[in-house]
Chains A and B, each alone.
Chain A
Amino acid sequence: MEDMSAFPLEITGEDVPMVSFRKVRKAYGSLVVLDNLDLDVAAGEMVTIIGPSGSGKTTVLRMLMTLEQINGGVIYVDGQPLTHMSKGGTLVPANQRHLRKRRADIGMCFQHFNLFPHMTALENCMEGPVQVLGLPKAEARARSEELLELVGMIDKKDQHPSRLSGGQQQRVAIARALAMRPKVMLFDEVTSALDPEVIGEVTNVIRKLVSEHNLTMLMVTHQMGFARDISDRVCFFYDGKIEEQGKPADLFGNPKRERTQQFLSAVKEAV
């Protein structure tokens, strides 16, 4: 049993990080995916996670979205524990009710979009606001149309996903996630399943979000140029740990660790 007294019931004070991983551990059986991960993301910060496959980068996002249970440590969102809840002055693993309450702060976009195929683009965006937030339909529709406008998909709002290209589906998926008004947005390899010529339309939407909205974002990507352009900070993951992190100019321009150098030169050769 882990000693939970090492973890505060909530994070207070000035500059409370929007997301805080504290000694987070994730293992599948004896295979340790993430070991003692400490990572803070400030409010409004854009953090990109890069690294070779199997380094645990996607797992970081999936744990934050509560799609994966953690095996140790605590994740805090906006100062409040996400994976745990306080009970009798100590932290215990969260129940479904607590997860539903805390999860509302987080939105996520997936590599394969995962739009609901039986709903139109607009219905996909309205689903969460109507069913989960309980908004009146008119309000949810107005909000969704505004976001579809933002991602440039308003013309296609009545199309089902099967009639849309990958890039278009991903833009609808971004609008769908934003319609829930999350504080934190997670982008999990959102361009990896796209044809090269449509990657730009998705990355441009994310660029727009970064420059116009004060969202906290965590992104896993293989687009190094894109990561370098828009990130406030880049984390290089290797073997379940953060091997190196820093400003994009420093990490890409002058990597300190040997593994980072190897990874970046291998990626450069592949392009």
Chain B
Amino acid sequence: MFDWLFTDDWFPKFDWRWDFAWEILPRLLEATLNTLIAAAAGYLIALVVGLFLALAQRTNYRTVTFAVREFVEFVRSTPLLLQIFFIFYVGPQFGVTLSPWVSGMIAIGLHYSCYLSEVYRGGIESVPKGQWEAATALNMSTLQTYKRVVIPQAIPPAIAGLGNYLVGIFKDTPMLSVIGVAELIHTANAIGSETWRYLEAYTMVGIIFLVLSLPAAGLIRAFEGFVRRKLGM
């Protein structure tokens, strides 16, 4: 009953051409590099800004806490794609003209910083109250307490969560294709419209994403173990 699977008129639809795949590989690898750079840069922004957003929500200034809280909720409740469009297309109307790359990094970095701030917040809240009290008893300032006592202890339990978002940001970089950042999907689209062949490019893009994402979880776990050992915990 599955004879139709092996008939010629169906099978040729999987017309995979190795020579073509080989030919486009360099372009895709170059785009892979761009994707990795975009993900890394966006993640770096998110790591730093996210920490500040988390700390800002813990200050004694009600207005700051409220404003940051609302900002985080707003960003988390609206699509990343909209934020990318907004910065790239609406920005110029307010005199802020940015290149696709810069707008993309800002959009994706800010978007993920809001998610990361929640991870940091959880990590910070997991540090026992006694640690704060010990720091006060040693007469440490608030800044010293965060820097020397609280944040070093907040990081290890947050690494798993932070790592998940690294994979997340990597898989969200294709969104930047809509404003013309030459990452993987953008390049695959370009190849498709030039040659009318989509199968090889999209398949290869999928494999590239898979190959890079799969080991990430293991690496993150290993990194967490490394940090914990390093801190003697």
Contacts and interface: CB of A to CB of B under 8 A. Distances in A.
B131 interface: yes
A108 B137 contact: yes
Contact of A131 (B128, B137, B140, B153): B140
A118 B233 CA distance: 6
Contacts of B149: 116
A18 interface: no
Contacts of A114: 128, 130-131, 133-134
Interface residues of A, number: 28
B138 A162 contact: no
A107 B134 CA distance: 10
A255 B141 CA distance: 44
A14 B180 CA distance: 81
A125 to B, nearest CB: 10
Interface in B131-165: 131, 133-134, 136-142, 144, 148-149, 152-153
B79 interface: no
B232 interface: yes
Report whether over half of chain A's contact residues are helix, strand or loop; otherwise say mixed: loop
B233 A131 contact: no
Nearest to B155: A118
B133 A67 contact: yes
A119 interface: yes
Contacts of B148: 116, 127, 131
A202 interface: no
B144 A162 contact: no
Contacts of A66: 136
Interface string A105-129: 0111010101111111000000110
Contact of B130 (A103, A110, A176): A110
Contacts of B233: 117-118, 160, 162
B134 A100 contact: no
Nearest to B140: A132
B152 A118 contact: yes
Given A114-B133, A117-B153, A131-B144, A100 B232 contact: no
A44 to B, nearest CB: 21
Interface string A198-232: 00000000000000000000000000000000000
Contacts of B130: 110, 112, 114
Interface in A39-88: 65-67
Contacts of B136: 65-67, 103
Contact of A118 (B128, B137, B141, B231): B231
Contact of B232 (A104, A107, A162): A162
B144 A132 contact: yes
A259 to B, nearest CB: 31
**Listed residue (B138, B140, B144, B153) with the most chain A CB atoms within 10 angstroms of its CB:** B138
B134 A115 contact: yes
Contact of B139 (A118, A119, A132): A132
Interface in B178-210: none
Given A100-B139, A103-B136, A160-B232, 5 more contacts: A96-B142, A114-B128, A116-B153, A117-B233, A160-B233
Chain A to chain B: the 4 pairs with minimum beta-carbon distance, closest first? A160-B232, A114-B134, A128-B138, A114-B130
Interface of A: 65-67, 96, 100, 103-104, 106-108, 110, 112, 114-120, 127-128, 131-132, 160, 162, 176-177, 180
10 contacts: A66-B136, A67-B136, A103-B139, A110-B134, A117-B153, A118-B232, A131-B140, A132-B140, A132-B144, A162-B232
